A and B are shown apart, each in its own frame.
Chain A
Amino acid sequence: MIETAVHEALDEVMDPELDEPITTLGFVRSVVLDGDVLTVHLRLPTAFCSPNFAYLMASDAKDALRGLAEHVVVVLDDHHDSDVINRGIAADSGFVGTYGEEASRDLEELRLTFRRKAHAAAMERAVRDMPLDRLRTLRLRDLPATKASEALRRRRSALGFDAAPDALVLVDDTGVPLPPGDLPLRLRFARSVGISIEGNAHFCRGLLRTRYAMEGTA
């Protein structure tokens, strides 16, 4: 079934701000294979979602789908920049090619910023119930096998951080172990990051439901 293959591929495409796959967020509107043309429509919670993130998701979706059909068409629906983004994605123009003078560079730095946020939030979640004096020497192998620690490992790997069992868990945005004195404040801030991401994800889900009340999920 092409739908299953498409969904599996798109499960790997994240909304960088919300740190969740576009599939579970309900952003995949429809999947149609017609001959050798695979067409996937995407939708977002508002017409005014940031165009850079919208572009990133559409472009990542197309990359993830390459190989599933001879021709892959990804279409972003109902967005204020749909025309520009869809033209750019169709022509594989890249972000700078798509936006010309409005863009100064590609979106890797933006992506990195949000991977770092996602990592900080996951790190705090994974150690939330542990006493502070244990955290200073806590290593990856010490983490219990929970969803939270699994999520942390994935986010570390997305950033290329040390994945060895004896790697320290509490690291900064670049993977360098945090000085013990910084831990309380850093973890407190990481908790705020998590609240922010979760809150946004919930709001976006709700808005998507409101906006597309009459539609199901693809």
Chain B
Amino acid sequence: MYSKDGENYFIVDAHIALWDARPENQRNIHGKQFIDCFYDYHRNLSPEEEVWSYEEYLYQGGERLMKDLFDDGYVDHAIFQPAHLGAFYHNGFGQTEEAFALASKHPDKLTYNHCWDPRREQQGLDELKRDAERFGLKGVKLYTAEWFGDSRGWRLDDPWSYRYLETAQDLGIRNIHIHKGPTIRPLDRDAFDVADVDHAATDFPELNFVIEHCGLPRLEDFCWIATQEPNVHAGLAVAMPFIHTRPRYFAQIVGELLYWLNEDRIQFSSDYALWTPRWLVERFVDFQIPADMTEYAPLTVAQKKKILGLNAARMYDIPVPEGLDVAPVAQEAVSVA
């Protein structure tokens, strides 16, 4: 919990990872390129005093994670959203066993979401059923740019993908986090296009679709579909740290999301270990839309409380201490019909 100016904020970090990018786990040059890309994000968007050494960045381990999130970071509950990246790392990028063990040890603080790849077809589908039971899955993290054999991407509306979504629905997995990346099959398409999420969200109205980094770099396409699909949500992974480097751009992102969606469908995350939650939470609570940006209304305390934790808590049935909750609004979406 974070408290400031007499207000108490329940914090849910809706997108975290326990990764291992150390050289011994790198399968090839792409493993190094991938973590280097993350590290450049980290160095480029963090305040100077929050920049880690490259060595620290490669691997954190459970103890460090618990400290960064819960001792130092004001986080009440965090959700693992693992990326497998088996083509880049021997034991995968997200550390399934380590993260699940940590979540099992701290069930009040951590939720473990798993991942699937529909290109594994029936075998993966059988595994999903076992994983759902073993991990007690409420959600999954899907990365559509994952490399698999000679394919370097898939779409959420592929036939096998639909079979996985149907199975997830049957198994009670309701929260589908989607992360777009630079590759897709076929490669001539825009890999960041979110039209496939639009189709899936229409066809699976009982599922929640959380698009991570709120569709960036296609914020506009994301907003357009989220306006029309009430079960599409925005995850603020990667968008949050712009609060430091480019506060006006951050104001635009939040302003656009509030305009096209509403305050009940936006979720905070630090994207740990890309960044750490402490400074992001502090700055977001202090943040305000600049006065000259009159196209956006000022952010309210209630909106900040929802974004920082209450929205994700509702989606994941995470209990919120008495007095900290704020009721959702039934806000009209923008009509684009």
A161: chain B residues at CB < 8 Å are none
Give the A-B contact count at a CB cut-off of 8 A.
108
**Contact at A206–B185, with CB atoms within 8 Å?**
no
**Contact at B40–A103, with CB atoms within 8 Å?**
no
Residue in B187, B192, B223 whose beta carbon sits within 8 Å of that of A103 in the complex: B187
| A43 shortest CB reach to chain B, Å | 13
**Contact at B188–A107, with CB atoms within 8 Å?**
yes
Main secondary structure of the interface of A (DSSP, over half): helix
**Contact at B188–A211, with CB atoms within 8 Å?**
no
| B184 shortest CB reach to chain A, Å | 9
Within 8 A of A (CB), among B207-248: 216-220, 223-224, 242, 245-246
**Contact at A106–B188, with CB atoms within 8 Å?**
yes
Q: Determine the residue in chain A with the shortest Cβ distance to B221.
A: A196
| B88 shortest CB reach to chain A, Å | 10
Whether B52 is near chain A, meaning CB under 8 Å from some CB there, is: no
**Contact at B191–A80, with CB atoms within 8 Å?**
no
Whether B54 is near chain A, meaning CB under 8 Å from some CB there, is: no
Whether A66 is near chain B, meaning CB under 8 Å from some CB there, is: no
Q: A50-B191, A103-B186 are in contact. Are A196 and B220 (CB under 8 A)?
A: yes
**Contact at B260–A192, with CB atoms within 8 Å?**
yes
Q: Which stretch, B10-18, B28-36, B93-101, touches the partner chain A?
A: B28-36
When chains A and B are docked, how far (Å) is the Cα of A47 from the Cα of B223?
Answer: 27
Whether A202 is near chain B, meaning CB under 8 Å from some CB there, is: yes
When chains A and B are docked, how far (Å) is the Cα of A211 from the Cα of B256?
Answer: 30
Q: A49-B182, A189-B224, A202-B249 are in contact. Are A196 and B187 (CB under 8 A)?
A: no
B253: chain A residues at CB < 8 Å are 195, 199
Contact flags (1/0) for A103-136 with B, using CB distance below 8 Å? 1111101100110010000000000000000000
B183: chain A residues at CB < 8 Å are 50-51
When chains A and B are docked, how far (Å) is the Cα of A49 from the Cα of B182?
Answer: 6
- B residues touching A (Cβ–Cβ < 8 Å)? 29-30, 33-34, 36-37, 40-41, 43-45, 150-152, 181-183, 185-192, 216-220, 223-224, 242, 245-246, 249, 252-253, 256, 259-260, 334, 336
- A residues touching B (Cβ–Cβ < 8 Å)? 17, 45-52, 80, 95-96, 99, 101-107, 109-110, 113-114, 117, 185, 188-189, 192-193, 195-196, 198-200, 202-203, 206-207, 209-211
9 closest residue pairs by CB, A with B: A47-B33, A104-B186, A192-B220, A50-B182, A210-B44, A196-B219, A102-B187, A200-B217, A46-B37
